[in-house]
């Protein structure tokens, strides 16, 4: 009976992690795309004196959605027990053009590896979501 309960708990945890990963991935792509539009379209148009509309609209959207990104990223990194420094890097990735895409790929691979380890009975969280720092 205890084996069945622990297996059910593990399956529920993995399903919750997958849902959290999907939320994070959507927000990473949305936030990253808006930031790229803002930096490479909106700011040049503003500097050239053509229009402020892109910066106002996309900048505001990015700002609000970045808060949602922070919540989704924090939820996922806590669930996966990502080390604090790595968590901070993931949270900041939404403020650097293209970094959200890189962090999303790394965190997705980490989540998949954690799930594989859980299915194999290995202690999860052994693999880092980012390459080791020197």
Residue length of the chain: 134
What is the per-residue pLDDT across 24-83, written as a single tens digit (0 to 9) for each?
A: 999 999 999 999 999 999 999 999 999 999 999 999 999 999 999 999 999 999 999 999
DSSP string, 47-115: HTTS-SHHHHHHHHHHHHHHHHHHHHHHHHHHHTT--HHHHHHHHHGGGSTTHHHHHHHHHHHHHHHHH
- Condensed to tens digits (0 to 9), the pLDDT of residues 97-114 reads 999 999 999 999 999 998
Half-sphere exposure of 96 (CA within 13 A, CB side): 11
Residue 87 pLDDT > 90 = yes
Are the CB atoms for 88 and 79 separated by under 8 Å?
Answer: no
pTM above 0.75, yes or no: yes
Angle 115-82-73 from CA coordinates, rounded to 5°: 90
């Amino acid at each position: 009976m205890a084996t069945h309960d622990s297996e059910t708990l593990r399956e529920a945890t993995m399903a919750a992690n997958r849902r959290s990963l999907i939320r994070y991935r959507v927000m990473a792509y949305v936030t990253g795309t808006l930031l790229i539009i803002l930096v490479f379209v909106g700011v040049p148009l503003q500097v050239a004196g053509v229009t402020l509309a892109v910066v106002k609209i996309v900048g505001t959207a990015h700002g609000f959605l970045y808060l949602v990104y922070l919540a989704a990223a924090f939820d996922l990194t806590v669930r996966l027990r990502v080390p604090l420094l790595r968590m901070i890097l993931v949270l900041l990735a939404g403020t650097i053009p293209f970094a959200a895409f890189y962090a999303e790929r790394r965190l997705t691979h980490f989540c998949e590896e954690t799930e594989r380890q859980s299915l194999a009975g290995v202690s999860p969280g052994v693999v880092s979501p980012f390459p080791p720092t020197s």
